[in-house]
Amino acid sequence: MSAETRTEEKTFFGHPRGLATLFGTEMWERFSWYGLRAILATFMAASPAASGLGLSQQTATALVGVYGALIYLVALPGGWIADRILGARRAVLWGGFIIMCGHISMAIPVNGGAFVALGLLLIITGTGLLKPNISAMVGKLYPEDEDARRDAGFSIFYLGINIGAFAAPLVVGWLASGDRWHLGFSAAAVGMALGLWQYAAGRRHLRGAGDAPGHRLTPRERRRFATAAGGATAAAAGALALWAASGTFSLGAFSLVVTLLIVAVPVGYFAYILLGSHNLTEDERSGMKAYIWLFAAAAVFWMLYDLAPTVLLFFAQDRTDLSLFGVGITAATTQAFNPLFIAVLVPVFAALWVKLGNRVTAPHKFAFALSMNGLSFVVMALAAKLAEQGRISVWWLVLVYLVQVFGELALSPVGLSITTRLAPAAFKGQMLGVWFIAIAVGDAVGGQTARLRDYVSEPMYFLTLALIALAAGALMFAFVPRLNRLMREHHQEEAAAGSPPA
């Protein structure tokens, strides 16, 4: 398409109209995801008399952690299915429809957890199809030679994510207050339905992006895939049935087993890369060794950071005076602090990293992020100690989320970038999904940390998590020189110093 034609057609802030379609779809999908996330743990822990599931806070925390972990883990097969079978456009459509069905299932006002379990399973499945592929479609709206416009388009796209993430806890939390949980779940379903409507209505603006699979399977390969997928599903269902029949099944034990399986995924994957015969160069091998350190640091970071919709949400509900500027708020409203701070501080940190340049490398940023996370939980330990005397101001949580966002903006933006740079040539595509496995591992393990509450006081629990993060941050700082050598950062800095400025 010529530049003249592009200027004549209607645009969305100077970008292809298809960006508006994807912007709205992602905004409403994130509204549904963050809306559910803001009330799920408190719903699970609420008593049956309050229309909840009556689980302990520890079990609810573990289950929400596993749920969040699986959301990120299924991005890998979801991207593969789009690339090999459905194409990105249909994967997003089916994914959104399945997510909506999941929220509808959870909104059915019946006692028991059957419809809740079905709903969460559907949401996990649908998100695996939608989340990785809608981002890929944004990139396909632009010609190959328009990198600057593409980057700006992604910035607008991510604005939609933050709008949905900020609005959801406010709206869904308010609707679900007074034990109206299923009304909150219904709002999440309506949000996804609005996203689907916008996606279908704006299809003509997508210019065919994602219509066809990138590497379509042959009929024989599709039969093999269907057989393998069916066999794996049957085996998993059979194992669960046998476990239930044995009388030893419990939700706590189930969450622990799933957590161990999730942790085993990156262990096996990295062993496969480093121990297998893949013709890795010495630079690629050293880069992967450095990446394992960064992966582990990221997992520790998310282990604490993603306790927001569970442990910190329960603290807001049980230990704080839910009032801001004299206005009463819901516990779910505290989940809106994070996206608000991100939206405000992203330009600040972007300018800061540009100013610091090569003096601050990726290991420095990861170490700083862990330190900020640790500091936020030192604040939580102090807040918990004060809360032993009675409810405290919710402004303590505002401070905690502010400090945590300092850490996220140091780690999260650089994660995918460093993943693509350190990935061996033979694993470039796969490694993008590996970064999300770090979040999955962190979420799953973080959910299990609530078990510590049976053995230590609440202030000591928070202080223990703080010490883990601070120790990990100190270790990262100590190994920055070695990691830089493994990553060949010093070589890049020397090359930059000897070349003219761009």
- Please report the pLDDT score of residue 189 as a whole number: 94
More confident residue, 216 or 372: 372
| pTM metric for this prediction | 0.86
| 117 within 8 A of 199, measured Cβ to Cβ | no
- Please tell me the distance from the alpha carbon of residue 184 to that of residue 35, in angstroms, as a whole number: 8
| 56 within 8 A of 101, measured Cβ to Cβ | no
CA 64 to chain CA centroid, nearest Å: 13
Q: What contacts 24+ positions apart, CB below 8 Å, involve 102-106?
A: 102/126, 103/32, 103/36, 103/185, 103/186, 103/188, 103/189, 103/192, 104/186, 104/189, 106/36, 106/182, 106/185, 106/188
- Please tell me the distance from the alpha carbon of residue 282 to that of residue 126, in angstroms, as a whole number: 40
**β 320-321/392-393 pair status:** parallel
- Please report the pLDDT score of residue 338 as a whole number: 92
More confident residue, 490 or 130: 130
> 1 pLDDT band (50/70/90 cuts)?
very low
Burial degree of 347 (CB within 10 A; 0-12, 13-18, 19+):
exposed
Of the listed ranges 139-148, 291-300, 491-500, the one predicted with least confidence: 491-500
Most confident of 153-167, 259-273, 366-380: 366-380
- Crossing angle of helices 17-45/88-107, nearest 10°? 30
Beta strands in 290-364 (DSSP E): 320-321, 323-324, 327-328
Mean pLDDT for the chain overall? 85
Mean pLDDT of 63-89: 86
SS3 assignment, position 142: coil
Write phi, then psi, for 293 (nearest 5 degrees).
Answer: -60, -45
| 332 within 8 A of 313, measured Cβ to Cβ | yes
More confident residue, 31 or 430: 31
| 309 within 8 A of 64, measured Cβ to Cβ | yes
For residue 489, pLDDT beyond 70: no
